[in-house]
Amino acid sequence: MRIPRQARVDYCPARESGGDLKTAQIIFRIFAEAGEEIYLVGGRVRDLLLGKETGDLDFATSAMPEATADIMRENGIRPIPIGMEFGTVSAVLHEGGRPVELQVTTFRRHESYAKGSRRPSVLFGGTLEEDLARRDFTVNAIAMDSGGRIMDPLGGLDDLRGRLIRTPLDPMVTLEEDPLRMLRAYRFACSLGFALDPTLEEAVHKLHAEILGISRERWKMEMDAIMSSEDAISTAGTLQALRLSGLLGDMIPELTGMFHMDRLPQGPAHRDDIWNHTLEVVSHTGKADLNLRWAALLHDLGKPAKRTVDEEGTPHFFGHEAEGASLAGEVCERFRFSRRDRNTVVFLVENHMRPLMYQPEWGDGAVRRLQSEAGENLELLLDLAAADAAAHAEPFSADGARRLELLRQRLASLRYANGERLLPRELGKRLLADAGDGGGAAVGIILRNLEEAVHRGELPAMAASQYYQAYLRTHPELRNPGN
């Protein structure tokens, strides 16, 4: 990672992609004309320095919230006043054919949250340096002015180079101001691939129970960011770190039954104890789907309560799926899942074993019943079962993968036989647009070849058009009329 060492980076907002560049320059200009200080801050600066794609614009200013809103109005920008009492004025500008969201926040001397509240207590005023010192981590406490000059009084550049999550002040002070920062530290470590500073980690171990005073909606926001990482292995590693910190057990006490069974065998089908098996299942969920990842974390939640040992010393977990579904529902309620997402996670936990029990002897009615009961969650259920199978010991892992492949083929055959649509209508239009004039015949061949691949179970039915287009790029033989 190459982070500039100088106090200025070669940066001009007008050189960025999309409309963000013009928007940033507009904001810099109108606040300067009003005689106010303003700086680009937070994740935008961090990601710019890391060379990563980034999102919205965050600014810190000397202007009080009412003055910020006035400056926007006077320059034809409609302020969104939600959050003004906490110092933030938002707006949406349309540049380059897309909306650019921005937030302008008054310099803060102090910010803290009362227990269970989503609303901070804020003291405005002061300087940029004071504002940066009250932020969560040094990598988010770097500011940039309109000319690209970097203000880094707290060593954030060095921490970017060192891939380190560190607090601007004593970590006990920073975390006590807002205990959610404990969870945010692991979220940033997960998304950036950084490590926690040892003093920060030690402070989390001391203060972890303070997370119970944070609103559940704020828990879910941070946990969802961890669970939706593109790298499932990073998600699994972060969950283990959260366990060791004490935070995971505080938020999801239902998991502590697994923790108490460390190193207890699960029988010949498993390589690991329940918790380590769970982490491996999470690591095999290649699709960054939130409900899939949450179900992977919770899928064996019922095992500790259902563990029995037979006369030969072999452990069993009869009925753990139903027990786990009940506990998963409680977890989803605590984290304020939407009803739809809660139902999806509970269904996946309760049924995660069904696809792995498939036998070719199943009648069409049994296969259709699984398909019907799963509904829109069928692919997620199959993905969860595949991750579960991959985390088993051999030969059970290979046997599970074989059963799932046969089940996918059987499901595709039933769709094919019933004349159900296998590919989205939009796919043909996209392929025609790519082919241009005279491409109709070739597109027809491609669609038939894709349908055959679905029929063989090599591709899922009715996935997004982009999925099949990406598959075609790696399987050019499907464009061959002789295929």
Whether 456 shows a pLDDT value over 80: the answer reads no
Mean pLDDT to the nearest integer, 454-479: 84
Q: Is residue 183 part of a domain?
A: no
- The answer to whether residues 283 and 403 belong to one domain is yes
Q: Write the pLDDT tens digit of every residue in 230-282.
A: 999 999 999 999 999 999 999 999 999 999 999 999 999 999 999 999 999 99
- Round to whole Å and give the CA distance between 212 and 215: 8
- Round to whole Å and give the CA distance between 39 and 131: 11
| Cβ neighbours, 10 Å, residue 392 | 23
- The answer to whether residues 296 and 149 belong to one domain is no
What count of residues does the chain have? 483
Instruction: Evaluate the CA torsion angle 250, 216, 194, 285 in order and state its sign.
Output: positive
Q: Which helix (H) or strand (E) holds 151?
A: strand 150-151
Q: How far is CA 180 from CA 120, 220, 221, 223, in A?
A: 12, 11, 10, 11
Instruction: Please give the backbone phi and psi of residue 75, each rounded to the nearest 5 degrees, phi first.
Output: -115, 20
Q: Is residue 186 part of a domain?
A: no
DSSP string, 315-384: EE-TTHHHHHHHHHHHHHHHTT--HHHHHHHHHHHHHTTGGGG--TT--HHHHHHHHHHHGGGHHHHHHH
DSSP string, 92-136: EEEETTEEEEEEEEE-EEEEEE-TT-SSEEEEE-S-HHHHHHTSS
Q: What percent of the chain has pLDDT over 70?
A: 89
| Of the candidate ranges 50-54, 63-67, 212-216, the one whose mean pLDDT is the lowest | 50-54
The pLDDT value given to residue 161? 96
Whether 329 shows a pLDDT value over 70: the answer reads yes
Instruction: Tell me which residue of 460, 467, 447, 480 sits closest to 408, measured CA to CA.
Output: 460
Mean pLDDT to the nearest integer, 357-371: 93
Residue 281: CATH number of its domain: 1.10.3210
The count of C-alpha atoms lying within 13 angstroms of the C-alpha of 234, restricted to the half-sphere facing its C-beta, is 18
Confidence of residue 39 (pLDDT cuts 50, 70, 90): very high
* Last residue within a domain, chosen from 144, 162, 180: 162
- The answer to whether residues 143 and 288 belong to one domain is no
- The answer to whether residues 351 and 466 belong to one domain is no
Task: With beta carbons less than 8 A apart as the criterion, state whether 25 and 123 touch.
Answer: no
The pLDDT value given to residue 113? 56
The pLDDT value given to residue 6? 42
Q: Is residue 220 part of a domain?
A: no
Instruction: Tell me which residue of 4, 2, 22, 3 sits closest to 12, measured CA to CA.
Output: 22
- The answer to whether residues 94 and 120 belong to one domain is yes
Q: Is residue 429 part of a domain?
A: yes
- The answer to whether residues 105 and 139 belong to one domain is yes
Q: Provide the residue range defining the domain that includes 300.
A: 252-417
Tokens of 432: 């025609």
The pLDDT value given to residue 477? 87
Tokens of 61: 């200013």
Instruction: Tell me which residue of 177, 252, 173, 172 sits closest to 219, measured CA to CA.
Output: 252
Confidence of residue 117 (pLDDT cuts 50, 70, 90): low
- Round to whole Å and give the CA distance between 381 and 358: 13
Tokens of 165: 């999550």
Instruction: Tell me which residue of 348, 319, 312, 317 sits closest to 332, measured CA to CA.
Output: 348
The pLDDT value given to residue 414? 85
Quick check: helix, strand or coil at residue 89? strand
Mean pLDDT to the nearest integer, 128-147: 94
- The answer to whether residues 460 and 361 belong to one domain is no
Confidence of residue 99 (pLDDT cuts 50, 70, 90): confident
Whether 455 shows a pLDDT value over 90: the answer reads no
- Round to whole Å and give the CA distance between 66 and 232: 44
* Last residue within a domain, chosen from 381, 401, 417: 417
- The answer to whether residues 27 and 81 belong to one domain is yes
Whether 440 shows a pLDDT value over 80: the answer reads no
Residue type, 172: M
Mean pLDDT to the nearest integer, 183-202: 97
What is the SS3 assignment for 21-45?
Answer: HHHHHHHHHHHHHCCCCEEEECHHH
Q: Is residue 177 part of a domain?
A: no
Confidence of residue 54 (pLDDT cuts 50, 70, 90): confident
Q: Which helix (H) or strand (E) holds 150?
A: strand 150-151
User: To the nearest 10°, the Cα dihedral for 80, 82, 86, 92?
Assistant: -30
- The answer to whether residues 470 and 366 belong to one domain is no
User: Residue 47, exposed/middle/buried by CB under 10 A (0-12, 13-18, 19+)?
Assistant: middle
Residue 54: CATH number of its domain: 3.30.460.10
- The answer to whether residues 17 and 153 belong to one domain is yes
* Last residue within a domain, chosen from 142, 162, 182: 162
Instruction: Tell me which residue of 65, 60, 66 sits closest to 27, measured CA to CA.
Output: 60
Residues 6 or more apart whose Cβ sits within 8 Å of residue 454? 412, 415, 416, 422, 423, 460, 461
Whether 111 shows a pLDDT value over 70: the answer reads no
Q: Is residue 14 part of a domain?
A: yes
The pLDDT value given to residue 118? 53
The pLDDT value given to residue 408? 92
Number of domains making up the chain: 3
- The answer to whether residues 33 and 156 belong to one domain is yes
- Round to whole Å and give the CA distance between 373 and 376: 9
- Round to whole Å and give the CA distance between 455 and 260: 45
- Round to whole Å and give the CA distance between 142 and 155: 8
Confidence of residue 110 (pLDDT cuts 50, 70, 90): low
Whether 116 shows a pLDDT value over 60: the answer reads no
Average pLDDT across the chain, whole number: 89
Tokens of 98: 């897309």
Whether 115 shows a pLDDT value over 80: the answer reads no
User: Residue 33, exposed/middle/buried by CB under 10 A (0-12, 13-18, 19+)?
Assistant: exposed
- The answer to whether residues 319 and 359 belong to one domain is yes
Instruction: Tell me which residue of 307, 324, 321, 322 sits closest to 264, measured CA to CA.
Output: 307
